[in-house]
Chains A and B, each alone.
Chain A
């Protein structure tokens, strides 16, 4: 991995009134390699930290002692309109989630959560919001590495191949959720926008062409595998 992973040096602000949650999140994020972390227990502290720390990502609890997380998100967004925001909520009631998303929240996570759910989501948001800093500008697969910036595939045998725009989008969508199944519907939406029905055959064509470029044996794929009836999963080589 040649590229410097600047995602993990992003400044993350975590706001939660429960000290034990802050401790858990700190342990999880530090283990994941995030180095710039700031914590706050309520609105007032969060605003002070915002001024001092200038976070590039905010993880907000919905219920705070001096107001809800949504109004805090509005305040933070007023100061930095492009700030990615993710909610951590102890409620699973739909209206909470809904208002979280209409507010422009990038994602939400319901407590209790598994640490990897948290790190996967935060990583996905950061890579989406700061693509220039993402380490996966170079994607390491079983049979090749892919230079995402230039849409170039460098195969183990030394040959290169160029990805089309659609193939690149497809690969990006899969890479963001590496190791997990991405459904046919989500991929179609990624490639052709919402309300795209009947594009499944086109999707299969793009997958086949992509496999020809990134797999050693396209008929027996190792990286871009099919989850029958569901979608596709991209297996990446683990970071060292």
Chain B
């Protein structure tokens, strides 16, 4: 399972792509945003105008055909009435079928002669109707389209070309608009409709000049309206995008395995609460997994105590044959490795899922290094391993905020790593010092100032350049290791994974160095110095 020398991890690639997208969105800024939405908006308006126009034409045609009303329009009706009026000796008479029709529609009317006298009144006329007697009366009726509160229409046969044109013809049917020109062109026919059956728009007027500028005025109004609508549109889009931003960030966090807590209002609140719920579920699963690991490690400890304890007793029992004692000491050594493994796994899972927050305290790295190395010296065969600790006087007084147990564990794991890879013994030099921080890539970026480091260097087997690159890019968490599948923990060891994890949790990093096989190996934990750490 060899990976290419410069692997780009799928999850990493996704993260980069997301960052690029976000960057693009930001760099475009307001002009791209407005331009994009202006085009969208114009297209939307155009569609609205087209749809409106089609609808308007349809409605107009329908209305002109009389709509859904039972009553006939005034023009149509007037024409027919005029055609059906006949002058007889005792005055004007409307054909009986037309009178019926007027009654049926609730319409009545009268005919006014050129001299202003009413010469005919339909049979449906109310008894108390006060017919117009003066030019002013009839002018008002014509102007307001109302007679005594009823819609009223004034019609003169002279206006109607249909009537003129069909002078000679006899009506073919009742519905025919053509009729005999029996009514003089100098008369006025007034039809009065039932109340509320027609809506009348009295005429109004504009000054000649302002009417001419009406077109321009309408254009200005239209433009202002459009601008107004566009601003409203942009604001609404903007608020949607703004609402989405935290949600997209939250989902990005989830993708990185971090807990997300998104707050959003309005329409997006539901999505936000879903993201939060997903985060809670993931977190619950993480904690279930960590608890599971912790439970397993707990349950393994008692049987392991037996293995270790009895193997140790056999190995140290002088009455037992030499060979059995040797084998027992192998069992003891291996069971101690298992103990380390169990502890590393448990610590790594807790560190990873952030279940036990670190318990940082201000400590002296020099003292911690002395304690850790001293304990380690007591646990290895002094005939095989020669350990020394060298503390740079400048680093002796450094103070650092860290979790004592975790930092000690990281150093111990580096020491154990040196022993594991050099089973035939070696010299291990531990040194604590201060260096320039600017050359070190810390998780939080390059930091100015100084850094303190602790280096574990052995003169043993060493590694080649490719293995060194692998080590340097090894996983720093169980999640990383799992994503690499197969070769993660196996190739890099849980011990070093934990070292990376602990270094990262303290804002530091671990660097590996080796000149090649047989030249020794060095691992250096580097941490940025706190502002207040030097005293």
CB proximity to B under 8 Å, residues A188-236: 197-198, 227-231
Distance, CA A227 to CA B382, complexed state (A): 12
- Nearest chain A residue, comparing its CB with the CB of B343: A92
B371 CB–A CB distance under 8 Å: yes
Point out which of A28, A114, A181 has the most chain B C-beta atoms below 10 A from its C-beta: A114
Distance, CA A24 to CA B312, complexed state (A): 11
- Nearest chain B residue, comparing its CB with the CB of A113: B305
- Whether B389 lies near A20 (C-beta < 8 A) is no
For A181, the chain B residues whose CB sits under 8 A away are 374-375, 377-378
For A230, the chain B residues whose CB sits under 8 A away are 370, 373-374, 377, 389
- Whether B378 lies near A228 (C-beta < 8 A) is no
CB A163 to nearest CB in B, in angstroms, measures: 24
- Nearest chain A residue, comparing its CB with the CB of B298: A90
- Whether B359 lies near A197 (C-beta < 8 A) is no
Known: A21-B305, A113-B308, A185-B367. A227 touches B313 (CB 8 A): no
Query: How many residues on A have C-beta within 8 angstroms of the other chain's C-beta atoms?
Result: 35
A91 CB–B CB distance under 8 Å: yes
- Nearest chain B residue, comparing its CB with the CB of A63: B298
Query: How many residues on B have C-beta within 8 angstroms of the other chain's C-beta atoms?
Result: 41
- Whether B364 lies near A185 (C-beta < 8 A) is yes
Contact partner, B374, options A20, A110, A116, A183, Cβ 8 Å:
A183
- Whether B371 lies near A186 (C-beta < 8 A) is yes
- Nearest chain A residue, comparing its CB with the CB of B346: A92
Known: A27-B313, A94-B359. A231 touches B370 (CB 8 A): yes
Distance, CA A92 to CA B375, complexed state (A): 18
- Whether A197 lies near B305 (C-beta < 8 A) is no
- Whether B391 lies near A197 (C-beta < 8 A) is no
- Whether A112 lies near B378 (C-beta < 8 A) is no
- Whether B364 lies near A229 (C-beta < 8 A) is no
- Whether A94 lies near B405 (C-beta < 8 A) is yes
What are the interface flags for A43-58 relative to B under an 8 Å C-beta threshold, 1 for contact and 0 otherwise? 0000000000000000
CB A224 to nearest CB in B, in angstroms, measures: 15
CB B361 to nearest CB in A, in angstroms, measures: 11
For B302, the chain A residues whose CB sits under 8 A away are 18, 20-21, 90, 111-112
User: What residues make up the interface of A, taking CB atoms closer than 8 Å to B?
Assistant: 18, 20-21, 24, 27-28, 31, 90-95, 98, 110-116, 180-186, 197-198, 227-231
6 sample A-B contacts, Cβ–Cβ < 8 Å, listed by A number: A31-B313, A93-B346, A94-B356, A111-B302, A180-B378, A231-B374
User: What residues make up the interface of B, taking CB atoms closer than 8 Å to A?
Assistant: 294, 297-299, 301-302, 304-310, 312-313, 332, 335-336, 339, 343, 346-347, 350, 356, 359, 364, 367, 370-371, 373-375, 377-378, 388-391, 397, 405, 430
